[in-house]
């Protein structure tokens, strides 16, 4: 690859570029201030101060208190910690309720738990990816330890009614966890007086580095740490803090606050223009997800009779466009994504999906380029398809 500057990056639900301000906030802790935040000397204290500052910035972004923020290594660790903790602190309860469209970080943990004798229910979704709260209500009872639902889906962008679901969980004394990895920074979040006990987020989905995450734990929510060892994070998560990445995540949280309106206006307008343009110019388009309740940056669109993987290859060859078919975790295998399968798509559409996920670093000129090249790619691939000319 020549350089990354001529890339049109529209795969932001897989990961995001580091904001330059984030790199700037991190650099001192990778170079000059390398002290251990637990050390009693002033040198270590510089690192400790950076963590205090970052914790406050993240609490502000979430409408939470700094004491409710636990730094972890990634979104997956936060998800695992929350669900395992709920099962350990409520040992009498043997049920988990989640959805069929969760990220692998939750789904594969749940499969593992089932393997170990717990009962897990997976809420189905309708053809637009929506859950049914009545169905959820029927599946929660006094044996439910935790309900876990994503705030927003990484593949189709659906936003789920987490507040209402949390109230259903609490009505039976169950805890409520939200995987908000895709929601944080894209839609406003306020955890004050919410029904959410645990919430996960991940740095690399909001222009901070890979390998840093947060678990929000509501004050007084019973908790059992996952990593046991040193007294870091008030004894809630052992391991010397990833100071530079924490400082970077704090800066990313401040930037997310500052850019929230832009996400809802300029990014949404670019996504809507891309969607309308592709729907108008490509044969047989099918937009996936709930267009009434969807992240402002995400477009998942199916083109019948052709392979999403072939579209991606051509998009890259033609104009260095980086998009995704399904999610980064499921592509690589040729299995259609579990999310698209849960929507009940027919087999002709199942393989032909492309996800464009934008960020504030995208430009209108990039959207123009995608709109110029995509229709031709779709038409020529359909010419090659044995079914496409039917
Ligand atoms: C990316 C992602 C995760 C995993 O986060 P990591 O930091 O990569 O472990 C979990 N849930 C959702 C919805 C995601 O998009």
* CATH assignment at residue 269: 3.90.1150.10
Specify whether 303 is located in the same domain as 213.
Answer: no
182 ligand 1 Cβ < 6 A: yes
Annotated catalytic residue, options 74, 282, 322, 329: 329
Whether 390 is in a domain gets the answer no
Confidence of residue 12 (pLDDT cuts 50, 70, 90): very high
213 ligand 1 Cβ < 6 A: yes
The yes-or-no answer on residue 329 being catalytic is: yes
* Nearest-CA residue for atom 3 of ligand 1: 75
Specify whether 12 is located in the same domain as 25.
Answer: no
Q: What is the pLDDT of residue 5?
A: 76
Specify whether 220 is located in the same domain as 312.
Answer: no
Confidence of residue 327 (pLDDT cuts 50, 70, 90): very low
CA distance 46 to 33: 7
Specify whether 224 is located in the same domain as 300.
Answer: no
Structure tokens at 109: 């943990």
The region of weakest confidence among 12-26, 230-244, 339-353 is 339-353
76 ligand 1 Cβ < 6 A: yes
Counted domains in the chain = 2
Span 133-150, average pLDDT: 98
Specify whether 30 is located in the same domain as 91.
Answer: yes
Quick check: pTM over 0.75? yes
Q: What is the pLDDT of residue 1?
A: 58
Q: Give pLDDT tens digits for 193-238.
A: 999 999 999 999 999 999 999 999 999 999 999 999 999 999 999 9
Q: Which of 15, 74, 76, 210 to mutate to test the pocket of ligand 1 (most atoms within 8 A of CB)?
A: 76
- 103 CA distance to ligand 1 centroid (A)? 7
Q: Which of 103, 187, 204 to mutate to test the pocket of ligand 1 (most atoms within 8 A of CB)?
A: 103
Q: What is the pLDDT of residue 330?
A: 46
150 ligand 1 Cβ < 6 A: yes
What's the domain range around 303? 4-17+260-384
Which 3-state string (H, E, C) describes the chain?
Answer: CCCHHHCEECECCCCCCCCHHHHHHHHHHHCCCCCCCCCCCHHHHHHHHHHHHHHHHHHHHHCCCHHHEEEECCHHHHHHHHHHHHHHHCCCCCEEEEECCCCHHHHHHHHHHHHCCCEEEEECCCCCCCCCHHHHHHHCCCCEEEEEEECECCCCCEECCHHHHHHHHHHCCCEEEEECCCCECCECCCCCCCCCCEEEEEHHHCCCCCCCEEEEECCCCCCCCCCCCCCHHHHCCCCCCCHHHHHHHHHHHHHHHHHHHHHHHHHHHHHHHHHHHHHHHCCCEEEECCCCCECCCEEEEEECCCCHHHHHHHHHHHHCEECECCCCCCECECCCCHHHHHCCCCHHHHCCEEEEECCCCCCHHHHHHHHHHHHHHHHHHHHHCCCCCC
Confidence of residue 389 (pLDDT cuts 50, 70, 90): low
- 198 CA distance to ligand 1 centroid (A)? 15
- 181 CA distance to ligand 1 centroid (A)? 6
Structure tokens at 276: 């309308």
Whether 127 is in a domain gets the answer yes
Specify whether 57 is located in the same domain as 206.
Answer: yes
- % of the chain residues with pLDDT over 70: 96
Specify whether 327 is located in the same domain as 376.
Answer: yes
- 185 CA distance to ligand 1 centroid (A)? 14
Specify whether 280 is located in the same domain as 226.
Answer: no
């Amino acid at each position: 690859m020549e350089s990354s500057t001529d890339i049109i990056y529209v795969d932001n639900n897989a990961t995001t570029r580091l904001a330059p301000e984030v790199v700037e906030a991190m650099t001192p802790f990778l170079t000059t201030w390398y002290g251990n935040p637990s050390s009693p000397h002033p040198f270590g204290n510089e690192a400790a101060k950076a963590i205090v500052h970052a914790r406050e910035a993240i609490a502000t972004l979430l409408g939470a208190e700094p004491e409710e923020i636990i730094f972890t290594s990634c979104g997956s660790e936060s998800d695992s910690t929350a669900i395992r903790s709920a099962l350990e602190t409520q040992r009498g309860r043997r049920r988990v309720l989640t959805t069929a469209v969760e990220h692998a970080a939750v789904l594969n943990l749940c499969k593992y738990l089932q393997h170990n004798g717990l009962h897990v229910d997976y809420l189905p979704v309708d053809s637009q990816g929506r859950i049914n709260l009545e169905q959820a209500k029927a599946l929660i009872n006094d044996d439910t330890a935790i309900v876990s639902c994503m705030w927003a889906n990484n593949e189709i962008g659906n936003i789920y009614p987490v507040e209402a679901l949390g109230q259903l969980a609490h009505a039976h004394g169950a805890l409520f966890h939200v995987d908000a990895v895709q929601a944080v920074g894209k839609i406003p979040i306020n955890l004050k007086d919410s029904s959410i006990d645990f919430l996960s987020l991940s740095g690399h989905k909001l222009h901070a580095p890979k390998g840093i995450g947060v678990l929000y734990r509501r004050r007084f929510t019973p908790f059992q740490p996952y990593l046991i060892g040193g007294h870091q994070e008030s004894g809630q998560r052992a391991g010397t803090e990833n100071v530079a990445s924490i400082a970077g995540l704090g800066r990313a949280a401040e930037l997310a606050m500052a850019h929230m309106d832009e996400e809802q206006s300029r990014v949404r307008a670019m996504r809507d223009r891309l969607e309308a343009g592709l729907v108008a110019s490509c044969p047989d388009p099918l937009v996936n997800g709930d267009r009434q309740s969807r992240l402002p940056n995400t477009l998942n669109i199916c083109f019948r009779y052709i392979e999403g993987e072939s579209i991606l290859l051509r998009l890259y060859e033609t104009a260095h466009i980086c998009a995704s078919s399904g999610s980064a975790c499921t592509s690589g295998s040729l299995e259609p994504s579990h999310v698209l399968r849960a929507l009940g798509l027919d087999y002709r559409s199942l393989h032909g999906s492309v996800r464009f996920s934008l960020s504030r670093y995208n430009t209108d000129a990039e959207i123009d380029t995608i709109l110029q090249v995509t229709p031709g790619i779709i038409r020529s691939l359909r010419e090659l398809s044995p079914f496409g000319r039917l």
